[in-house]
Structure 1
Amino acid sequence: MQIQVFMGNAGNGKTSKLQSVQERLKFTGASAPIIQAGAYGEDSLLEILEVRAAGGQREILVDGCSGQQILKVLEWQSYVEHKPDFDGLVIHLARRD
């Protein structure tokens, strides 16, 4: 599992790296809708990441993350990265301004 964190102007999902990643995925035939982190608490965000990974999504895009949400995802990574559901998973987190 790999986690990429975008900050500052790069972390604005409307004009940023997340859209670039999303376009790249569309080009390859994959789909990765952007999750709006503001709609979730820290634990709920982890749940949605687990559901998406278990469902086979290999790249997950999350926009508008708080610093605490990012820290929680990084902590969660250490607990789940050895599980097969998370092999090859890349999570892109964009921190809100």
Structure 2
Amino acid sequence: MQIQVFMGNAGDGKTSKLQGVQDRLDFTGESAPIIQAGAYGEDGLLEILEVRAAGGQREILVDDCSRQQILRVLEWQSCVEHEPDFEGLVIHLARKD
């Protein structure tokens, strides 16, 4: 599992770096909607990440993350990184201003 954290303008689903990733995924036909982290608490965000990964999504985009949500995702990564369900998973997190 790989986690990338982007800093900068977020919260509108159009974070430039996330948008570039989404455009690339749209081109390859692998896209899924950007997760708006503001709609979830820390545990809820981890749950949606697990659901997406279990459903076979290998690249997940998350916008509007709080510092605490990012820290929780990084902690979660260390707990699940050796589980086969998360093999090859890439999560892109954009931190809110």
What TM-score results when the alignment is normalised by the length of structure 2? 0.94
Mapped to 1, the partners of 2:14 and 2:41 lie a distance apart of: 21
Mapped to 1, the partners of 2:58 and 2:74 lie a distance apart of: 17
| Counterpart for residue 86 of structure 1 | 86
| Counterpart for residue 37 of structure 1 | 37
Q: Secondary structure at the match of 1:93?
A: strand
CA 1:76–1:15: 2 relative to 1, 3 Å:
closer
Q: Where in structure 1 are there 5+ consecutive unaligned residues? A: none
| Counterpart for residue 4 of structure 2 | 4
Mapped to 2, the partners of 1:27 and 1:75 lie a distance apart of: 32
Identity of aligned residues (%): 85
Q: Aligned-pair distance for 1:32?
A: 2.2
What TM-score results when the alignment is normalised by the length of structure 1? 0.94
Equivalent residue letter for 1:27: F
Query: What's the Cα RMSD here?
Result: 1.1
Residue 73 of structure 1 pairs with residue 73 of structure 2: yes
Name the stretch that deviates more: 12-21 or 32-41.
12-21
Q: Where in structure 2 are there 5+ consecutive unaligned residues? A: none
Mapped to 2, the partners of 1:55 and 1:63 lie a distance apart of: 20
| Counterpart for residue 20 of structure 1 | 20
Residue 55 of structure 1 pairs with residue 21 of structure 2: no
Equivalent residue letter for 2:85: D
